[in-house]
Amino acid sequence: PAAPAMMGNVAVWKPSKTAVYSAGVIMEIFKEAGLPDGVINLVYASGPVAADTVLTHPDFAGIHFTGSTAVFQSIWKTIGENIYKYKSYPRIVGETGGKDFIFADPTAKKRELAIAMLRGAFEYQGQKCSAASRCYVPASIWPEVKEIFGAELATVKMGPVEDFTNFVNAVIDESSFDKLKGFIDRAKEDEDAEVIFGGNCDKSVGYFVEPTVILAKKPDYITMKEELFGPVLTVYVYEDEDMDATLDLVDTTSIYALTGAVWSQSRYNIEKIAKRLENCAGNFYINDKPTGAVVGQQPFGGARGSGTDDKAGSIFNMLRWTAIRTIKENFVPPVDYTYPNFQPDNE
């Protein structure tokens, strides 16, 4: 809510039910910093209750939404159905889902790629819309990448957040745990997939999902397509000579276009892949993990099923929350309605 408020608007902030505590802390910081009462109004309500009030109100002027693609589409539909009620046409900004990719070519540095896969997929338990979720690795380098990745993953500690040496903590709630466990259990049974690392889940003392890597035996396996939002990475190994066809798969497999990364030591391939995948990721990384955008340094956002690509953390997003007024002042108003061409020709 800070961006609209900074541009002079009053904002109503409704956090996710799983983020009420952090939202409360942020609100306390805002107030301590001098934010006046009534500028940002933090309300704790269920999504449907808030939507029924906000999206039908004549003064509704815009929404800055972060969440699932399905919910955002529902909000947009509701706005359209209520458009005749509003005093102005609402600004609609959304940052929604992602099925973020890492694509490596045969020249990629193997250890660097393995570390990017581990960090990109498992930091914050993969609970980032930018988290690496699908990875395409050529067959010629996969055995060594797999070995390095497995050795590093074996050193990863999982446990509560109070211990700062734990790299992986619990996922956010039980519904997330159950969803992730369902996909992992399915991959263990499916002929088209194999769990090659991790796969254990335990909610006896917290919703802990072990960092898991699924090897997809076909490129359109379900975990290559659907956003999971957890510590699950799916790898598809392609034949080196099929690189161009695999780039087509990166483009068409998912409805999302949030973040993506290319790993290569060939400048020709980097330029080629970046051009081929220009519509696949609003934030595109070269020889880096597809996460870590910082406000003010790297504006963030994607298109397709990932949102409106208004680039949070940039001037472009800020300008979405302004009403532009043009003013003209005339110091020499005309005293005759006619123009020169109305006068008779003088020969």
Reduced to 3 states (helix: H, G, I; strand: E, B; else coil), residue 111 is helix
The answer on 84 and 65 residing in a single domain is yes
Q: Which pair of structure tokens corresponds to residue 114? A: 């393995």
The kind and range of the H/E element at 36 are: none
Give a yes or no: residue 223 inside a domain.
Answer: yes
Give a yes or no: residue 89 inside a domain.
Answer: yes
Q: Which pair of structure tokens corresponds to residue 36? A: 């006046």
DSSP letter, residue 198: -
CATH code (residue 212): 3.40.309.10
| Cα-to-chain-centroid distance, residue 314 | 15
191 counts as catalytic: no
| Residue 136, beta-bridge partner list | 103, 236
Q: Choose, from 28, 32, 81, 95, the residue flagged as catalytic.
A: 95
Q: Which residues of 145-171 are buried (b: 16+ CB within 10 A; e: fewer)?
A: bbebbeeebeeeebeeeeeeeebbbbb
The kind and range of the H/E element at 108 are: none
CATH code (residue 60): 3.40.605.10
**Structural domain tally of the chain?**
2
The answer on 265 and 131 residing in a single domain is yes
Give the angle subtended at the CA of 276 by the CAs of 273 and 280, to the nearest 5°.
100
The answer on 234 and 140 residing in a single domain is yes
DSSP letter, residue 191: T
pLDDT tens digits for range 9-32 = 999 999 999 999 999 999 999 999
pLDDT attached to residue 347: 56
pLDDT tens digits for range 97-146 = 999 999 999 999 999 999 999 999 999 999 999 999 999 999 999 999 99
The answer on 249 and 263 residing in a single domain is yes
pLDDT tens digits for range 203-241 = 999 999 999 999 999 999 999 999 999 999 999 999 999
Using CA atoms, how far apart are residues 198 and 133, in angstroms rounded to an integer?
Answer: 15
* pLDDT at 345 exceeding the cut of 80: no
95 counts as catalytic: yes
Q: Choose, from 81, 112, 123, 129, the residue flagged as catalytic.
A: 129
Using CA atoms, how far apart are residues 180 and 127, in angstroms rounded to an integer?
Answer: 11
The answer on 156 and 61 residing in a single domain is no
Judge whether 42 and 24 are in contact, CB under 8 Å.
Answer: yes
Using CA atoms, how far apart are residues 10 and 210, in angstroms rounded to an integer?
Answer: 42
**pTM, full prediction:** 0.91
